[in-house]
Structure 1
Amino acid sequence: MASPILDLTKAPIKSYVYAKTNIGGWFFDAILQATHTSQLTITQHPVQSGSSISDYAYMQPRTLSLNIGMTDVAKSFIPGQFSGGSSRSVQAYQVLLQLQQMRIPVQVYTRLGLYQNMLVETLTVQDDNTTTHGLRCTVDLSELLVATVEVVKISANPAVTDSAKKGTQQPKQVPSSILQTLANLFNGKAS
């Protein structure tokens, strides 16, 4: 089987990729159910009054669960998709399995929004007498959080040096007149 990674900028995928639910440009016969999960994790510790609340809460990776349906008797929405195997339903499962095994983030479009950098986390298929000529599969996808880190060098010289010459340090004798003045201050006597 060819690579399941599709070019979303080529026709005819290009004209539908943002109009119909798809997983990386693969259009399934039916999306029976879509479950979208977006979760904010909030600290359980006390927060000081006046501090920035955004420092104490962060977004978890979004998850998406699609319950898809495929049949062997229909034609593909995009000509040529899911062809070349023993049946369309088996080929659709193979595509999903390859996307999962390759661990390459894909774009997923649904009616409620666009998801970038999604990985196929779990595939759940019930195969029984009702799916002899079809496929019913639950595809659980999770967002891969991507960050860009940049290191900025601010000086060619190190901030701290261990090789600084400090010289020889010698104790000095304090004159007796200063010692007597200090003793008087501590004893409550003024000079």
Structure 2
Amino acid sequence: MDNSPILDLSAPEIKDLVYTKTNIGGWFFDAYLKMDHTSRLTITDHPVQTGAAITDHAFLQPRELSMDVAMSDVNESTVPGQFSGGYSRSVQAFYVLKELQQLRVPIQVHTRLGLYPNMLIEVLTAPDDYTTFEGMRCSVTFREILVAQVTTVQISARPEVTDNSRRGNPEPVTPNQSILKQMSGLLLGN
């Protein structure tokens, strides 16, 4: 398998796992140490002359998900062939996360608490010291991108005819004069 993070999610060895086990875009890491699920509602408020501010609207912000994932160089992959072809499984796993981030293509993240479609990797943080020499621990922060649905609606069966309408003959009009100008004209005899 090459170093590309493109996966065939309909492949027999992945298809049954994608919607049942925690994964990031079809990639199965050795451990998911911690997950923070954030859903935020923004409530608008506007001050009024007397009393407290009034609320007239509320909307959901894009969801956020933070995961601490871990990889070991001594384990075998859940899916045969994942994270192979590099220096080690842990280094290859970090390269996959970096490439998923650089592609800027929405991915699907499945967790025990829910399915998150349309997620982008916003932040990757991976400390590298003597404790991670034969493994990797990485914090991955995702943010949902909201996708608008566009629909074209036909309003009338008749085509617009404004370009074909008669406009008539325009005639010059004298501009309105102010009352002061009119009065000064009367006083001066104009």
TM-score of the superposed pair, with normalisation by structure 1: 0.77
CA distance in 1 between counterparts of 2:88 and 2:170 reads: 87
The CA deviation at 1:6 is 1.5
- Which residue of 1 is the match for residue 155 of structure 2? 154
- Which residue of 1 is the match for residue 19 of structure 2? 18
- Which residue of 2 is the match for residue 63 of structure 1? 64
Q: Is the CA contact (8 Å cut-off) linking 2:3 and 2:86 kept in structure 1?
A: no
Q: Do the aligned partners of residues 161 and 93 (structure 1) sit closer, same or farther apart at CA in structure 2, a change above 3 Å counting?
A: same
Amino acid at match of 2:70: G
Q: Is the CA contact (8 Å cut-off) linking 1:5 and 1:24 kept in structure 2?
A: no
Single out whichever of 92-101 and 2-11 deviates more from structure 2: 2-11
Structure 1: give runs of 5+ residues left out of the alignment: 48-52, 170-191
Q: Give a deviation string over 1:127-146, Cα, whole Å, max 9, x none.
A: 11100111000011111111
Q: What is the RMSD of the two structures over their aligned residues, measured on CA atoms? A: 2.3
Single out whichever of 25-34 and 3-12 deviates more from structure 2: 3-12
Runs of 4+ residues over 6 Å off in structure 1:
159-162
Identity %: 58
Q: Is the CA contact (8 Å cut-off) linking 2:38 and 2:65 kept in structure 1?
A: yes
CA distance in 1 between counterparts of 2:128 and 2:78 reads: 24
CA distance in 2 between counterparts of 1:127 and 1:103 reads: 25
SS state at 2:12 partner: coil
Give aligned pairs, total. 163
Q: How does 1:176-191 map to 2 (within 5 A)?
A: none
Q: How does 1:1-191 map to 2 (within 5 A)?
A: 1-45=2-46, 56-155=57-156, 156-158=158-160, 163-165=165-167
TM-score of the superposed pair, with normalisation by structure 2: 0.78
Single out whichever of 103-112 and 143-152 deviates more from structure 2: 143-152
Single out whichever of 152-161 and 112-121 deviates more from structure 2: 152-161
Q: Is the CA contact (8 Å cut-off) linking 2:32 and 2:69 kept in structure 1?
A: yes
The CA deviation at 1:4 is 0.8
Structure 2: give runs of 5+ residues left out of the alignment: 49-54, 172-190
